Amino acid sequence: MNLANSTIKASRGDRIFMLGVYVFLAIALVVVLYPLIYILSASISSPKLVNAGEMWLWPKSITWDGYTLVFQNSKIWSGYLNTIIYTVLGTALNLAVTLPAAYALSRSDFVGRTLFVIIILVTMFFNGGLVPTYLVVKDLHLINTMGALILPVAVSVWNLIVARTFFQTTIPRELQEAAQIDGCTNLRLFTRVVLPLSFPIIAVMALFYGVAHWNSYLPSLLYLNDAAKYPLQMVLRQILVLQEMTAETTGAAISGDIAKAMNSKAETASLLKYAVIVVSTLPIIAVYPFLQRYFVQGVMIGSVKG
């Protein structure tokens, strides 16, 4: 009997199970895909139809006024530039702190590494809280500065542990010993040998930290007073707050002309909101496909093994 040409017939239970899997995946696809399609459609649809609930999937009364407003709004472009700066500098600092620390903790000859790992893990489960963190940032004179958005989040314990596991399971100890026999110092070993072999975890860490910086708005809400330094997410928040306040004011007992003006302003804010959401997510969507291979590889190596 030729086993290569033989086929194994799936049982009835297997077919029912696979059918359930496909149904579940289809439902998950709809749940994930619908908000994306809705936001994209709402960004080019008439705000009156969107607010009235008449547009629920495909765009209606297509208009590009939202994107026109985005490209003409200087605050949005300023927020975009600030977000890019915060993301690039913040991610660079995160990598500069996380990778060397993770490599040091992965070395079995590092004296006291177990104690350091325990201390670091405690900070992941127990946090000082918002008020102490704010007082520390204030005492360091970082209020209304770029450092307030970057320095307090210089390292993530979870990312540190994932990178440490990657180094432990991927970089052979024999390779490190051979480099040391050849007279390679620890710093040179890390920069010349370890880092070139660690591009998957570097890509994963850059993606994790970059997305976190890009979507962050709470630190800017707490520590920034100058609107010129606001990131894009804070600008978007202001648009959302303006829309809610305008909608509440429009519902009050005011004159017809003022109500029409307020309603028009609310429609403009709604249109601008969806357009900004689309524009703000495009960079992440554009970058992710290029890092997806390393993302999956690095996460599986860093979190499953060891």
Does the residue 29 lie in any domain?
A: no
Does the residue 135 lie in any domain?
A: yes
pLDDT > 90? residue 288: no
pLDDT at 86: 92
Does the residue 38 lie in any domain?
A: no
Does the residue 18 lie in any domain?
A: no
Does the residue 49 lie in any domain?
A: no
Look at 7-11, 25-29, 162-166, 212-216 and tell me which has the smallest mean pLDDT. 7-11
Cα–Cα distance, 273 to 238 (Å, whole number): 10
pLDDT > 90? residue 90: yes
DSSP class of residue 195?
G
Q: Which domain holds residue 234?
A: 65-306
The predicted model gives 122-138 an average pLDDT of 85
Q: What is the mean pLDDT of the chain?
A: 80
Confidence band, pLDDT 50/70/90 cuts, at residue 183: confident
What CATH number does residue 78 fall under? 1.10.3720.10
Q: What's the structural domain count of the chain?
A: 1
Confidence band, pLDDT 50/70/90 cuts, at residue 258: very low
pLDDT at 193: 84
The predicted model gives 262-286 an average pLDDT of 73
Cite the DSSP H helix spans in the chain: 12-43, 47-51, 65-72, 74-106, 113-125, 130-139, 147-150, 157-170, 173-181, 186-189, 199-215, 218-223, 232-250, 256-303
- The sign one gets for the Cα dihedral 95, 100, 101, 106 is positive
Does the residue 50 lie in any domain?
A: no
pLDDT at 1: 46
Confidence band, pLDDT 50/70/90 cuts, at residue 188: confident
pLDDT at 264: 61
Does the residue 12 lie in any domain?
A: no
pLDDT at 297: 64
pLDDT > 70? residue 87: yes
The pTM of the full predicted model, rounded to 2 decimals, is: 0.75
Percent of the chain with pLDDT over 70: 83
Confidence band, pLDDT 50/70/90 cuts, at residue 294: low
pLDDT > 80? residue 120: yes
CA dihedral 107, 112, 115, 120 (to 10 degrees): -50
The predicted model gives 134-142 an average pLDDT of 89
Does the residue 51 lie in any domain?
A: no
Percent of the chain with pLDDT over 90: 9
pLDDT at 242: 62
DSSP class of residue 198?
-
pLDDT > 60? residue 171: yes
pLDDT > 70? residue 185: yes
Confidence band, pLDDT 50/70/90 cuts, at residue 25: very high
Look at 16-25, 102-111, 294-303 and tell me which has the smallest mean pLDDT. 294-303
Closest to 239 measured CA to CA, from 274, 210, 290, 194: 274
